[in-house]
Structure 1
């Protein structure tokens, strides 16, 4: 009987820890407009440099809270690119309401995701960005789930972005711990982390562990991740994300300052 009680107490405590962040966000639900997706804000956040401001190649990774109640748990992530001397950006992402879920199209790189303001996760410029862009089209064509979408535990938009990053070593971008689906490895169990230096073990995206230089340590339980990031001097909380003093991803100083300022304004 004591063993059963201890197991029940442990299960209850774990569940409470995993759901504390999403429940807190739900209690403060004013952070996201719950109106119709047809009228939700899709305007540019003004984070990305315009082609006139930046003639060189640009590769950026963004994330924004998923639409409606899903945003209490997870982000939607995407990749934006601009070739050197190009006059427009392309956005590469997965959306779940099409038969062929992968999209690469001209668009504003930093549009709000149906009312949720985007957060700049990584920003790569110059020759490194050019090398990434040269590989990107071929990598996207090889994405293994072009007609599959499952919000939980994957494959979804975050699965796509994490998979692309793993295929292009020059990217080395750690995705936020609350990007549910990034740990989905399909039939695989062991993989390198998107951030480059490190490995992760994942059982269908439901359970797993991850350890990497950029990511730190993450424990995934039912798709919700928590952990610590020693390099970033931060902690990772389910639903809330990473609370850190440093950004471990590639980020020009000016872009990092704009991102941090934008995050602070959103919090206020």
Structure 2
């Protein structure tokens, strides 16, 4: 019984308390009244394609809307061939789930500004773009009906899949990207293509990630706590990575 109480105490302290604090802070801020009143226009974070002709790949994330915006974000991928236009890829919860260019590449998401997760440019981007496009085309949940908001597969499951398939992008999604830890087919484990990160998951509800990019993470009901080694910091549920 004492062991069980200790486990419950750790869960409350590490996962529940920070989430409640985050939700309380979220409630004190102004938010759009609904989808139609939110801002979805370009944030101006990216130069125009004409101003930056080189090949590029970007991964973005932004906090989402509604009450889930207190703890959860939405991620998307942007590619640009040399002298080409931006191509944005999102997964959404209606219709054909993989959307292409349904928003500006650097648009606000539900009035929340985008955060740059990964950036690759030049010759390396030219080399990786076909690999990114292949990972997108091979995504197992890209057909109508292939979306479940929780525990996945959702928008973050999609982008996390691409990052695992193309580890040369050198990034993992922020710890507030709920759904990123849902593995293909509900698998128990997955080793990234380069063998540098290992992911264990119980259907996306609980699990563990460890490796050069993930650091050490424990996820519980979509909430993530852990240590970031590549960019030293502590991963706090509801707050993301707090840098050291």
Q: Which position in structure 1 is the counterpart of 2:31? A: 33
Q: State the distance in 2 between where 1:239 and 1:66 align.
A: 13
Which blocks of at least 5 consecutive residues in structure 1 are unaligned?
246-268
Q: 1:130 aligns with which of 111, 126, 130?
A: 126
Q: How many residues align?
A: 240
Displacement of 1:175 in angstroms is: 1.2
More displaced, 217-226 or 141-150?
141-150
Q: Under a length normalisation based on structure 1, what TM-score does the superposition of the two structures give?
A: 0.82
Displacement of 1:125 in angstroms is: 0.3
Q: Under a length normalisation based on structure 2, what TM-score does the superposition of the two structures give?
A: 0.90
Q: Which position in structure 1 is the counterpart of 2:162? A: 164
Query: Do residues 10 (structure 1) and 7 (structure 2) align?
Result: yes
**Following superposition, which runs of at least 4 residues in structure 1 exceed 3 angstroms of deviation?**
193-196
Render the CA deviation track for 1:126-158: whole Å, top value 9, x for unaligned: 111112222333322211012311121110001
Q: Which position in structure 2 is the counterpart of 1:239? A: 238
Q: Contact 1:178–1:238 at 8 Å: present in 2 too?
A: yes
What is the root-mean-square deviation in Å for CA atoms of aligned residues?
2.1
Q: 1:67 aligns with which of 57, 65, 68?
A: 65
Query: Do residues 49 (structure 1) and 86 (structure 2) align?
Result: no
The verdict on how the C-alpha distance between 1:188 and 1:45 changes in structure 2, with shifts beyond 3 A counting, is same
Q: Which position in structure 2 is the counterpart of 1:223? A: 222
Q: State the distance in 2 between where 1:119 and 1:210 align.
A: 22
Q: Which position in structure 2 is the counterpart of 1:94? A: 91
Displacement of 1:35 in angstroms is: 1.1
Query: Do residues 110 (structure 1) and 106 (structure 2) align?
Result: yes
Q: State the distance in 2 between where 1:116 and 1:32 align.
A: 11
Which blocks of at least 5 consecutive residues in structure 2 are unaligned?
none
Q: State the distance in 2 between where 1:120 and 1:232 align.
A: 14
